[in-house]
Amino acid sequence: MEYKLAPSILAADFMRLGEQIDAIGKAGAQYVHYDVMDGIYVPSISFGLPVLKSVRKGTDLFLDCHLMIMDPDRYIDEFAECGADSITVHVEACHDVGVAETLRHIRRRGLKCGLTLNPRTPIGALAPYLGMVDMVLVMSVEPGFGGQKLLESTYGKLAELLELKKQNGYDFDIEVDGGVTKENLASLVRAGVNVIVSGSSIFKGDIEANVKDFFDIIAQNT
């Protein structure tokens, strides 16, 4: 299994965004986690298409776009054109054309597709679509705000998801987003996570040292 680190630039210093994206890449991170919030599906507003287009010009890292927005299908083409490598949508948010058609739209654009759900939504809500996705993102905090602590209920969800994956022979990555730190990383890796999103624990302090610490912990637990 390949393990990937996806630093969330929501926690970066926006005055130094290009410099800090360069730093995570040089340190070995493979992904940039790009959180898009619309102020409707979640209360907060983050960044959108113009920033993504600029980030794409400045990096070859894999752009992992997490759309915390209502009816994401209407924006798939624009995110593809601005340089997204993957798009993950919320199972609760695809009201216009439905979840399956939204995932098919992402694939038609040649992108990796992911599906996620809020902490209060049961894993069973994803079951009809697990054969269609490249990645499942388990939200380990309530979406919309950074700096929250990881919910203990995350581990039960991961166990349930891993069981569904094994039973059906699915081949998707498992990503966790929210409250991931050096202190809980080992338990998440042992629980089956192979794509790790982290914000403050990467961008606060020495970025290169933090990335190295994350990969060291992964290596010690795999």
Domain count, the chain: 1
Helix (H) or strand (E) holding 20: helix 17-27
Per DSSP, what are the bridge partners of residue 62?
Answer: 31
pTM greater than the 0.75 cutoff: yes
pLDDT at residue 207, rounded to an integer = 98
User: Per residue in 78-136, pLDDT tens?
Assistant: 999 999 999 999 999 999 999 999 999 999 999 999 999 999 999 999 999 999 999 99
Residues ≥6 apart with Cβ < 8 Å to 125: 91, 92, 117
What distances in angstroms separate CA 196 from CA 30, 73, 105, 139, one per listed residue? 10, 25, 25, 11
- Taking only the tens place, the pLDDT of each residue in 41-63 is 999 999 999 999 999 999 999 99
Which residues are known catalytic residues?
Answer: 35, 177
User: What CATH code is carried by the domain that includes residue 85?
Assistant: 3.20.20.70
Q: Say how far apart CA 118 and CA 163 lie, in whole Å.
A: 19
**The domain containing residue 114 runs over which residues?**
4-220
Which residues are 139's β-sheet partners? 177
For the chain, how many helices (H) and strands (E)?
Answer: 8, 8
% of the chain residues with pLDDT over 70: 98
Q: Distances in Å between the alpha carbon of 151 and those of 18, 50, 55, 100, 141?
A: 31, 33, 31, 28, 6
What was the pLDDT predicted at 73? 98
